[in-house]
Structure 1
Amino acid sequence: MPTVPHPPEAPAAPTILARLRAETRPYHDALEAGPFNEALRAGAPTTAGTVQFLERMFGFLEPYETALRQHEAEFGPAWELPKRYRAHLILEDLQRPAADPGLPLCPAMPLLHTLPQLLGAMYVLEGSTLGGQVITKQLEKAGIPQRRYFAGYGERTGPMWKAFGQLLTETATPATADEIVASAARTFQCLAAWINKP
């Protein structure tokens, strides 16, 4: 008696991290094409360019971290959010007072009202910690003083990124994945427009 062939298995849906990497790549590349990163690739960073980059990053991180703080309860302790706040490191690098740093804030932030929107933005900002050690070495070669912001989480940078990826994978659902990816893409776009503007 002939056997009935099994229908082919449907391909597994890509993980949220795989989707984020693939679908935000063009926006990531556009961010990396800015003047600060161009100077780093050319081996010619400047103190002025570094200071401008840090000032712009603060202008983006401050409202982003404010939104995260407002939603800490939705994340829970496993995310270690207090350890992930880094805007204050920029103020230390620039020797600016925390009470009134006198730095402009990004006027066109991505939407950061829902957990999926915050997770998408978090993917972008947590990912930015990974290149910090390389940047620090390039600044050292150019004689530019070390900056704490670029050190990320120091020796914990890798483990903190891995923990974020695991938590994101556990938290994302088929119903929220599209919103997470769209938020990450929008975050890259808003950050690039802010960081790279003349």
Structure 2
Amino acid sequence: MGQLAGRPGSTFRPGSMLPTFLPITVYRPMLVGLDKPLILQRLRTETQPYHRALEQNEFNRALAAGNITEAIAARFLAKLYGFLRPYEARLRQHAFSPAWQPERRQRAHLIEQDLPAAAHLPECADMPELRTWPQLLGALYVLEGSTLGGQVITRQLAKAGIPTRTYFTGSAEHTGPLWKSFCQLLAAEATPDNEAEIVQSAIQTFQKLHAWIELR
């Protein structure tokens, strides 16, 4: 796809408002009390129905019920891998400044440590569009937010004796700072002209990911 249309090289400007919303992820809600940039408010409000729908997957239900199994965890990781592989391949086609820490936004390889046969898993063919900078920001909002419950999940899997935990451990104590950094960059990039496209891309990403996870 080549160079992003937009401003991928810019960084967070001092004085920009910090995000208040750590989104309802694939795993569980996390909220903190920070100031609210308009784009984070819009993303939280307008994507919430799609967040809620995505949360009702088999893996999340099993965690909530306390009956998670290694097979359920493996199925969920396989689905995530099939979505992350093409998503991350598209990210690598675009230019990012060092402020975005693009190498730390790549996580599919962690699933390869949990699922030795991951390289042979099917990949999602119906991916969200990632042609423009606002589209990429919307998709990043969803996938970056999906890491936030990882530490809680890791503890639940450990308690259940399930070894497939590398992906959920992720960046460990750096997960929160990485999310905060992303939200700062997102807030700096959002404008009245591109906010609608960012939000629509986030909605589409939730929808595509949900459809893929539920596909049997």
Q: TM-score range by the shorter chain?
A: 0.7 to 0.9
Contact 1:132/1:150 (<8 A) preserved: yes
Q: Any residues of structure 2 matched to 1:27-176 within 5 Å, and which?
A: 27-71=50-94, 73=95, 75-96=96-117, 101-176=119-194
Q: Give the CA RMSD over aligned residues.
A: 1.4
Contact 1:31/1:196 (<8 A) preserved: no
Structure 1 length as normaliser, TM-score?
Answer: 0.88
**Gap regions ≥5 residues in structure 1:** 1-12
Match of 1:180 among 193, 198, 213: 198
Please say which structure displays the higher CA radius of gyration.
1
Structure 2 residue aligned with 1:7: none
Aligned to 1:118, the other structure's residue is in SS state helix
Q: Percent identity?
A: 61
Contact 1:110/1:190 (<8 A) preserved: yes
Alpha-carbon offset, residue 162 of structure 1: 0.3
Cα distance in 2 for partners of 1:49, 1:60 equals 17
Cα distance in 2 for partners of 1:15, 1:52 equals 36
Distance of aligned partners of 1:57 and 1:102 in 2 relative to their CA distance in 1, 3 Å threshold: same
Q: Which moved more, 1:13-22 or 1:36-45?
A: 13-22
Structure 1 residue aligned with 2:43: 20
Cα distance in 2 for partners of 1:153, 1:174 equals 33
**Superposed structure 1 runs of 4+ greater than 3 Å apart:** none
Contact 1:130/1:152 (<8 A) preserved: no
Alpha-carbon offset, residue 196 of structure 1: 2.2
**Gap regions ≥5 residues in structure 2:** 1-35
Contact 2:138/2:198 (<8 A) preserved: yes
Aligned to 1:70, the other structure's residue is in SS state coil
Cα distance in 2 for partners of 1:67, 1:47 equals 30
Give per-residue Cα distances to partners, 1:31-72, cap 9 Å, x unaligned: 00111110010011111111111111011001110111101x
Alpha-carbon offset, residue 14 of structure 1: 5.9
Q: How many residues align structurally?
A: 181
